[in-house]
Structure 1
Amino acid sequence: MEAESIPSLSPLIQAADQWGELLLLLPLLVALEAVLSADNAIALAAISRRLHDPKLQAQALNLGLGLALVFRLVLIAAARWVLDFWPLQMLAAGYLLWLCVTNLRPGDSQAKEEQGQGNEPSAEVAQKGLSGVVVTLALTDLAFSLDSVAAAVAVSDNLLLVMTGGVLGVVALRLTSGLFIRWLEVYRHLESAGYLAVGLVGIRLLLRLSAPQFVPPEWGLLGIVALLFAWGFSKRNSEPLAEEVEG
């Protein structure tokens, strides 16, 4: 007699199958989220760094990613409809490209440095800045989520499984963003590399909408991002200072 033919055992067998799928695919989904979110983490760290105060930076990441988690779960629940809704993808692509261009312009980076050298902001100004950064963090993660959610849904159609992977992905994103905030202070080209990667994701979303035949494979995009990261970690900010001292 087959075990599946015993009615009392059927729920147990189905549960075992679900847990087996969970144990097998969950690490894959988490790894997928972590790899696809590396450029996202740099962007979120750079946005949070505008607050200058480490306590406000941590608070912004906690609140912003908490809101982003809600957006992600809604996006996963409505994935079948949202991923076919081209205006939302167009807005996400435009936002990511705007984020890339506005943060790579030399004038903007100089303005950020001058702002960082100014006086300490008042509590009211700091609170307004915190609110703006929280919203920007949530929207940025939402734009990135269109790509990662599409990949996760392609791996499994189990809604609970994909949501669990999304939650763990946001937790991992919070941890890596905190690391990148410190690394951005150390490595000269890391922020530029991160925003270039953001632009690549935006271009990929546009190609997916307008010319799907030209969309680069996932491994190709990851290879380019890896090269950008290698460049980003190639030079420390302290190196020129050391040369001046020796001179």
Structure 2
Amino acid sequence: MIWHDIATIGTLAILEGLLSADNALVLAVLVKHLPDKDRKKALRYGIWGAFVFRIICILIATWLLNAWPFKAVGAAYLIFISLKHLLTKDEHKKEAKMAKGLSFWKTVVAVELTDIVFSVDSILAAVAMSPKIWIIYLGGVLGIIAMRFVAGGFLKLIDRFPGLEEGAYALVGWIGIKLAIETAEQTIHDFPHLMPPALFWLVMAAIFFGSMLWKRSVK
């Protein structure tokens, strides 16, 4: 069991780093149209907003863990954002186009709404990965640390292995499927056990390493 917990924490650390890097990338795209001084200020608000919303998500994680309707909605949401990201071409360019022409404060609002989305992604992924509250808390803390200290490093890693960005969202989708199956097992009598741990981790590893090789070979 301890090795399962270690693997879960390691996976959350990588996933939080990749999602935080994408969060930072989206924030940079949203504020790109602003003058340099306002851009830095809006980014600063965005980073602080990311901290605050992640802390809020950590604080309500206990309730989320025990509410199966939320877990069902959360599973659907994780699968939705995964498919949306993977099937939408030039998503960041569309975000930049939508943000262009917004005033400073409207841009800040767009930035904070983006932070809320990424914070929800973060805590839902942690809830789906483990029923242990301390691991969920640790996942939230890792998200905060990633936003503050390692997002830049993961951005460089994504630049070197472009497929990792898609890989992160493929992982999110797979985690969403896991959460959906586990919720069904809890609420539907005699629902078959479809997600043995070995299968879950095998697919996780295949997605991660496959995404590193895929676009690197295409590039």
Report the TM-score when normalising by structure 1.
Answer: 0.64
Output the CA distance in 2 between the equivalents of 1:201 and 1:29.
16
Of 59, 65, 74, the residue aligned with 2:60 is 74
* 1:91 partnered with 2:73: yes
- 1:229 aligned residue: 208
Describe the shift of the 1:171–1:84 C-alpha distance in structure 2 as closer, same or farther (beyond 3 A).
Answer: closer
Query: Structure 2 counterpart of 1:66, which letter?
Result: V
Q: How does 1:191-230 map to 2 (within 5 A)?
A: 191-211=165-185, 213-230=192-209
Q: Structure 2 unaligned segments of length 5 or more: list them.
A: 33-38, 186-190
Change (3 A) 1:200 1:58: farther
Alignment of 1:23-172 (within 5 A): 32-51=8-27, 52=29, 60-76=46-62, 78=63, 82-105=64-87, 108-113=88-93, 116=96, 122-148=103-129, 150-152=131-133, 165=138, 168-172=141-145
Equivalenced residues, count:
201
Aligned residue for 1:224, secondary structure, equals helix
Give unpaired runs (5+ residues) of structure 1.
Answer: 1-24, 156-161, 241-247
Matches of 2:77 and 2:208, distance apart in 1: 22
Deviations 1:55-74 (A, max 9, x none): 55675344224321232133
Q: Distance in 2 between matches of 1:57 and 1:67?
A: 15
Matched to 2:61, the amino acid is L
Distance change in 2, residues 1:137/1:58 (3 Å): farther
Larger radius of gyration between Structure 1 and Structure 2: 1
In structure 2, distance between residues paired with 1:60 and 1:97: 25
Contact map agreement 1:46 1:184 (CA 8 A) in 2: no
- Indicate conservation of the 8 Å contact 1:49/1:57, yes or no: no
Quick one: structure 1 residues 133 and 173, their matched pair in 2 at CA, closer, same or farther if it must change by over 3 Å? same
TM-score with structure 2 length normalisation? 0.71
Amino acid at match of 2:65: L
Shift of 1:131: 1.6
Moved more, 61-70 or 193-202: 61-70
Contact 1:72-1:145 at 8 Å conserved across structures: no
In 2, are the aligned partners of 1:29 and 1:152 still within 8 Å (CA)?
A: no
Structure 1 residues 196 and 31, CA gap change in structure 2 (3 angstroms): closer
- Root-mean-square deviation (CA), in Å? 3.7
**Aligned partner of 2:156 among 174, 178, 182:** 182
